[in-house]
Amino acid sequence: MAFSVQMPALGESVTEGTVTRWLKQEGDTVTVDEPLLEVSTDKVDTEIPAPASGVLLKILAQEDDVVEVGGDLATIGEAGEAAPAAAAPAPAAEDEAQELGSGA
């Protein structure tokens, strides 16, 4: 089962954070509470730990991306498992492009 890594609330008035550096890469094995990435806000710079053990399947927020509290940063799951929902929008976009192209 895949787990979503989300931007935590890093302070009472903090609404977003900037991904400053990934400490792990896609495909790396991580353990629960192991630091995954560094995040910077206007009040604090901190490391975000893994919420579960497994494999870092997909990084959703790149370095320098600003992510709202609760926003998805990455997906952790089992080796060989596909990251959920990340691939779902792509086929719809391809279908739409084919429909637009066939009308010309």
Distances (CA, A) of 10 to 19, 59, 69, 72, 90: 13, 20, 8, 15, 33
Q: Output the pLDDT for position 92.
A: 40
Mapping DSSP to helix (H, G, I), strand (E, B) and coil, where does residue 97 land?
helix
CA distance 92 to 73: 23
Q: Output the pLDDT for position 84.
A: 62
Burial (CB count within 10 angstroms: exposed 0-12, middle 13-18, buried 19+), residue 90? exposed
Q: Output the pLDDT for position 101.
A: 55
Q: Output the pLDDT for position 93.
A: 42
Q: From first to last of the 104 residues of the chain, give the pLDDT tens digit.
A: 789 999 999 888 889 999 999 999 999 999 999 999 999 998 889 999 999 999 999 999 999 999 999 999 999 999 777 666 544 434 444 444 455 555 54
- Return the biggest CA–CA distance within the chain: 54
Region class of 54: left (phi > 0), else alpha (psi between -120 and 50), else beta:
left
CA distance 83 to 99: 27
Structure tokens at 93: 């976009």
Sorted by where each starts, the structural domains of the chain and their CATH numbers stand as 3-102 (2.40.50.100)
